[in-house]
Structure 1
Amino acid sequence: MTTVELLIYIIFRGLAIGILVSAPMGPIGVLCIQRTLNKGRRSGLATGIGASLSDLFYAMLTGFGLSIVVDFIENNQAPLQIAGSLVLTCFGIYLYRQNPARNIRKRLNQKSSFTQDFASSFLLTLSNPLILLLLIGLFARLNFFLPEMKVGHYILGYVSIILGAFIWWLTITFIIDKVRSRFNLRSLWLINRGIGIIIIIMSLVGVGTGFYEYFIK
């Protein structure tokens, strides 16, 4: 793989991980949408940025652990891809069945600053270590780490992850702000189902590819 190919490889996979780890409409997604609807796009974006930085922390934690055993990962790519894809399949099924609006209280009358919205979102996301499982699955499924990667490549990868997350929150708050008069909580349920289906399909393709590489090829 040439230097340019490696950079493109890292950037696109980093962006994909950032988007996929942010896209599921869990408590933070619902909170971001509610704040956008009730207090404006600025408040929703602050919520998304807080969640993105927390996701970056967990991504670095995951990456540090995986980079230690990068040789093991290289020698066991197919089994790890199968395992990571199975984890993502379970997550996709869970996401498909979840009703994200059910467990969230509306904050119609609460007033808070940009900093408070950011901090509350960061801490709420940080309190959910299950994100680690999703990240491990994504890192393994997308084969994010390669033996030839150096420190600069890792930094580029993490920057791409947070950029992908930021692109997601920027897009979702823009859309919600534009269609606020036609948006309802059922839309969250439909978004969750759509994302769940995408993750399940992507994961099943990963399982099939892993089995082919490990058992047939």
Structure 2
Amino acid sequence: MGSFSSILLAWTVGVISGFLVSMPVGPINVTIINEGARRGFRWALMIGFGAVAMETIYCALGFAGFATFFDSQIIKATMALVSFLLMTYLGFKYLLGKSVVTHTKGADAMEEKLHPHSAFWIGFVRVLGNPAVLLLWIALAGAFSSHEWLGEDWTSRGIFISGVCVGAAIWFVLLSYAVSLKHRQFSTTTLVRMAQVSGAFLLGIALILGVRIILMLARHYATVRQLKEM
């Protein structure tokens, strides 16, 4: 069991991560907006909760499948760089995007195979059919582990995952409530602006990761220089 400060940090990072990862406008958010406009707050909220459930599973798999690799310093450094590049790419992609993706082939194929009928399972299956979510959580797991924002024990990771669940749920509750207030679908312009805001947040994360990488390199260079002078 870690200290209270480390536990609080893991949970806070989890909440923020869950919120930001759920925020970019894609198939699941478009589904909530469209279905919520037609069928109301509760239906939209249950779609969101289904998405939260699958998002949490993908997050846990991202840590479980690659947890042992993060013990290597070389892998940690590699994942730190990959995560920085991925956050930068996604940030610019959403910030400069002019359109919104409403469907993915994987999600459509999964829906045709499983035929979800309830709102919860619609949200669950839509995220299940989007393996890019799993890849994103793998990258984030590498970033947080390499920068030591999370402990290497499963207590810290479990608290982080619970924070992700809460953060994602907060986003979908807010989105469902906003849709129920407007009683209609959002315009394409509004969706694009939402994506741009999420892109700006992702670029902010990329900036933080980039600064930390530079500091890590500077410390490494200073250490090597001191050893050579001895």
> Normalising by the residue count of structure 2, what TM-score does the alignment of the two structures yield?
0.78
Give the Cα separation in 2 of the matches to 1:24 and 1:45: 17
Give the Cα separation in 1 of the matches to 2:121 and 2:10: 29
* 1:19/1:167 contact within 8 Å kept: yes
1:156 is paired with a residue of what secondary structure?
helix
Moved more, 50-59 or 170-179: 170-179
Give the Cα separation in 1 of the matches to 2:135 and 2:206: 14
Q: Residue 119 of structure 2 is aligned with which of 117, 120, 135?
A: 117
Structure 1: 5+ residue runs without aligned partners?
105-113
Q: 1:36 to 1:201 in 2, by over 3 A?
A: same
Residues paired across the two proteins, number:
205
Q: Measure how far apart 1:81 and its partner are.
A: 2.2
Alignment of 1:79-158 (within 5 A): 79-96=78-95, 97=97, 99-100=99-100, 116-143=118-145, 144-147=149-152, 149=153, 151-158=154-161
1:100 is paired with a residue of what secondary structure?
coil
Give the Cα separation in 2 of the matches to 1:134 and 1:33: 23
> Normalising by the residue count of structure 1, what TM-score does the alignment of the two structures yield?
0.83
Give the Cα separation in 2 of the matches to 1:152 and 1:210: 26
Moved more, 164-173 or 136-145: 136-145
Q: Which residue identity lines up with residue 133 of structure 1 in the other structure?
A: L
* 2:15/2:166 contact within 8 Å kept: yes
Q: Which residue identity lines up with residue 138 of structure 2 in the other structure?
A: I
Give the Cα separation in 1 of the matches to 2:158 and 2:55: 15
Moved more, 80-89 or 120-129: 80-89
Give the Cα separation in 1 of the matches to 2:34 and 2:173: 15
Structure 2: 5+ residue runs without aligned partners?
105-115, 221-230
What residue is the counterpart of 2:113 in the other structure? none
Q: Residue 181 of structure 2 is aligned with which of 171, 178, 182?
A: 178
Give the Cα separation in 2 of the matches to 1:115 and 1:164: 26
* 1:89/1:203 contact within 8 Å kept: yes
Matched, 1:212 2:215: yes
Q: Summarize deviations over 1:148-194 as a string: whole Å, max 9, x none.
A: x2x43333222211111111111111122223469423211110011
Give the Cα separation in 2 of the matches to 1:182 and 1:129: 27
Q: What is the CA RMSD across the aligned residues, in angstroms?
A: 2.6
Q: Summarize deviations over 1:8-61 as a string: whole Å, max 9, x none.
A: 011101112211221111011111111111110111111111111111111111
What residue is the counterpart of 1:28 in the other structure? 28
Runs of 4+ in 1 over 4 A off after TM superposition: 75-79, 101-104
Q: Which residue identity lines up with residue 93 of structure 1 in the other structure?
A: F
Give the Cα separation in 2 of the matches to 1:181 and 1:116: 21
Q: Which residue identity lines up with residue 168 of structure 1 in the other structure?
A: W
Give the Cα separation in 2 of the matches to 1:87 and 1:173: 29
* 2:32/2:44 contact within 8 Å kept: yes
2:24 is paired with a residue of what secondary structure?
coil
- Percent identity over the alignment is 21
Q: Residue 193 of structure 1 is aligned with which of 196, 212, 215?
A: 196
Q: Tell which structure's C-alpha radius of gyration is larger.
A: 2
